[in-house]
Structures are given as C-alpha cells and as structure tokens.
C-alpha cells in the first residue's frame, strides 16, 4: 500500500508556528481526494484534527489549520503549546487501489522545545 | 456520544488466528457508516487493515487480504476482525474506528482506545 510522505519530525519553541507537509501523488491527493489530519498524543488513540482538507471538528482549537494544493497538503500549528507535542498523521485516498484505498502518512513527531 | 471499545486476547501464538471484537456504543452500526480496523506496529505509523460498510460489504488492504475477515454482528452492535496465520510482524496495537465516506472524502471520526496484540510463542 502506498504511503503519503511526511517529515519524520518538526520542532518549535512555545508560541512559534510550525508546519507539517504531506506529499502524495496524482492518484491520491492530486486526484482530488480530501486530506485529513490526526493527532496522536503519547499512549493514546489517534484523534481527528482536520477533515475535508481544512475543516476542524468541534472542539479543535483554531490555531490548527490545514490546506491542500496539487499533490500536497500541510498542517500548521500556530502559537505552539506544550500540549501539542504529539505525532501527526495525514490521511487520504488512493484511486487505483482496489479494495480499500485509504492511505496514511508515515507520521510526524512534533516536539515543543 | 459514539464510543468504540476493542476486546480480545493480548497474546497470540505464531501461525494461529488473531480475533478481536469492537463494541460500539451510542450508535447503531446497522444505521450507516463504514467500520474499520487500523493497526500500529510498535514505534511505527498507521496501517489500514480494512473496512466494512453497514450493509456488510468489505474492503481489505491488499497486502493483508488473503488473511483478513471483517464481519458485523448487528444484534450485538459490534464488528469483528480475524487475521489468520499470524507472525511476529502482526504484533501491533489494533484500533477499531468509525469511518465517514462520501465522494472524495473518507475519514475516521471515532476511534477505540486500542488493544495491544503480541504474537509470540
């Protein structure tokens, strides 16, 4: 199964803005499929952070924002806080995979310095 | 509030069958949505095992398809995973989740807490 490409890690000081990229292909993100983002705090299950490219579920702070362009997407965290230290995964869909085409990125560890 | 809870043996012997159940609370699985199993090997990323639509249609990860069966039990409001001929590579935290899918949009909005399954003799 193909994997969406994310940087293994990003870091920033409290209050800074960090971005996480998610690179796909013309058969997934580039084919128009929406991108989602999940936050996984240490020892917990993933939590839906963004759906439909740039929509936040109820309760997700506005400092989390996302965008999509071409074959890539990105998640931005503004005003980084200690509680944001977690793993973040992007997720989309691959059009040519028979069966289930759900794809996850490899994950990005965000460290608050 | 929708809640999901995985259950099953935490230790499975190599070559045997891994069996897990996901109990769903707060929503009837026969009413809609897809219901999926996702796993995470130690220190690794997320891997979809497969989804089942509320109608019973299944969709499996091609790399696992020959060993996987996902089924619904609407009378108990639960769905299950069976993975045959397991090896150490199947050691992972297994999550069940609810999936919304429409058009170009597919995402998992509710997740169980996960259950660690270790394959070892």
Q: Is pLDDT at A88 greater than 50 in this prediction?
A: yes
Q: What are phi and psi of A31, to 5 degrees?
A: -85, 0
Tokens of B43: 């220190």
Residues 6 or more apart in contact with residue B29 via CB below 8 angstroms: B35, B54, B72, B74, B77, B78, B79
Q: Dump pLDDT digits (tens) for B46-78.
A: 999 999 999 999 999 988 999 999 999 999 999
Min Cα–Cα distance to chain A from B14, Å = 24
pLDDT of residue A37: 98
SS (H, E, C) A13-71: CCCCCEEEEEECCCCCHHHCCCCEEEEECCCCCCEEEEECCCECCCCCCCCEEEEEECC
Tokens of A99: 């069966």
pLDDT of residue A1: 47
pLDDT of residue A94: 87
- Does B95 contact chain A (CB < 8 Å)? yes
**Over the range A17-45, which residues count as b (16 or more CB within 10 Å of their CB) and which as e?**
ebbbbbbbbebbbbbebbbbbbbbeeeeb
pLDDT band at A98 (very low <50, low <70, confident <90, very high): low
- Does A44 contact chain B (CB < 8 Å)? yes
- Which residues in chain A have Cβ-Cβ distances shorter than 8 Å to B46? 38, 46, 89, 91, 104, 107
CB pairs below 8 Å between A and B: how many? 75
Question: Could you tell me which chain B residue has the CA closest to the CA of A108?
Answer: B45
Q: Is A99 in contact with B105 (Cβ distance < 8 A)?
A: no
């Amino acid at each position: 199964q193909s994997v969406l490409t994310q940087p293994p890690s990003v870091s920033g000081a409290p209050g800074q803005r960090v971005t996480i990229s998610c690179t796909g292909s013309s058969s997934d993100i580039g084919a128009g499929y929406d991108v989602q983002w999940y936050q996984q705090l240490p020892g917990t299950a993933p939590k839906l952070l963004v759906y439909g490219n740039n929509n936040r579920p109820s309760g997700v702070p506005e400092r989390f924002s996302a965008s999509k362009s071409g074959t890539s997407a990105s998640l931005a965290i503004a005003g980084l806080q200690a509680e944001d230290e977690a793993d973040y995964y992007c997720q989309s869909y691959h059009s040519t995979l028979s069966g289930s085409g759900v794809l996850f990125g490899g994950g990005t560890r965000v460290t608050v310095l | 509030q929708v809640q999901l809870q995985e259950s099953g043996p935490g230790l499975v012997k190599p070559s045997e069958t891994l069996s897990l159940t996901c109990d769903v609370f707060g929503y009837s699985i026969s009413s809609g949505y897809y219901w999926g199993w996702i796993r995470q090997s130690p220190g690794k990323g997320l891997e979809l095992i497969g989804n089942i639509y509320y109608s019973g249609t299944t969709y499996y990860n091609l790399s696992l398809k020959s060993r996987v069966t996902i089924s619904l039990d609407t009378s108990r409001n639960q769905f299950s995973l069976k993975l045959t001929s397991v090896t150490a590579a199947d050691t992972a935290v297994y999550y069940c989740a609810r999936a919304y899918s429409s058009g170009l949009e597919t995402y998992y909005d509710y997740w169980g807490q996960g259950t660690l399954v270790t394959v070892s003799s």
